[in-house]
Amino acid sequence: MIKAIYPGSFDPVTNGHLDIIKRASKLVDKLVVSVLENPHKKSSLFTVEERIENLKLVTKDIKNIEISSFRGLLVDYAQQIDAQVIIRGLRAVTDFESEFQMALTNKSLFPNIETLFIPTSIEYLYLSSSTVKEIAMFGGNICGMVPCEIKESVLKKFRK
């Protein structure tokens, strides 16, 4: 059985993330999408619990998926849940350097883990959680950037 972990901040989950989730879930037996609990990051839009709820909502139709959160090193958590593969999405070449460094670091910490890069679908090439937050902050249209189910909750954060 191949179990993979797709880690990230997902603040908020975007259609680009969802595209990677859907495609990765077809490649493995079990996909664990896991939100990093980062105690040093004070400026998150959504709490970890809210991000988990959002991920559950937008992946409710995918059967072989589990949503969780983790603290500390990704490879420690991967070992704990018996995941053999780390999934990461790649957008532009600019992602490559940091993602490659992360993959090599994870491999050096835990040689049994493999990182699988999935290239983004072309329509999400420009998309990131930061872009979504910036557009929402200035009242712009985030339709098509985040799943419909969470669009209101993103906009609500900026109305407060």
Q: Could you give the residue numbers annotated as active site?
A: 17, 41, 91, 129
User: How near is the Cβ of 76 to ligand PNS at its closest, in Å?
Assistant: 8
Q: How many whole angstroms separate alpha carbon 123 and alpha carbon 120?
A: 8
Question: Tokens representing 54?
Answer: 């959002």
- Which one of the spans 2-10, 47-55, 114-122, 144-152 is the region binding ligand PNS (CB under 6 A)? 2-10
Residue 14 binds ligand PNS, judged by CB under 6 A: no
Site for ligand PNS in 91-110 (CB under 6 A): 102, 105-106
Compute the least distance from the CB of residue 129 to ligand PNS, in Å: 7
Which segments within 9-160 are labelled E, that is strand?
A: 30-36, 65-70, 85-90, 114-119
| Ranges within 30-59 binding ligand PNS (CB under 6 A) | 36
Beta bridge partners, 6, equal 33
Cβ–Cβ under 8 Å, residues 45 and 130: no
66: left (phi over 0), alpha (psi -120 to 50) or beta: beta
Residue 8 touches ligand PNS, criterion: CB under 6 A: yes
Which of 29, 47, 49, 73: binder of ligand PNS (CB under 6 A)?
73
Residue 89 near ligand PNS by CB under 6 A: no
DSSP state of 143: B
Can you give the binding site for ligand PNS, defined by CB under 6 A? Answer: 7-9, 36, 73-74, 102, 105-106
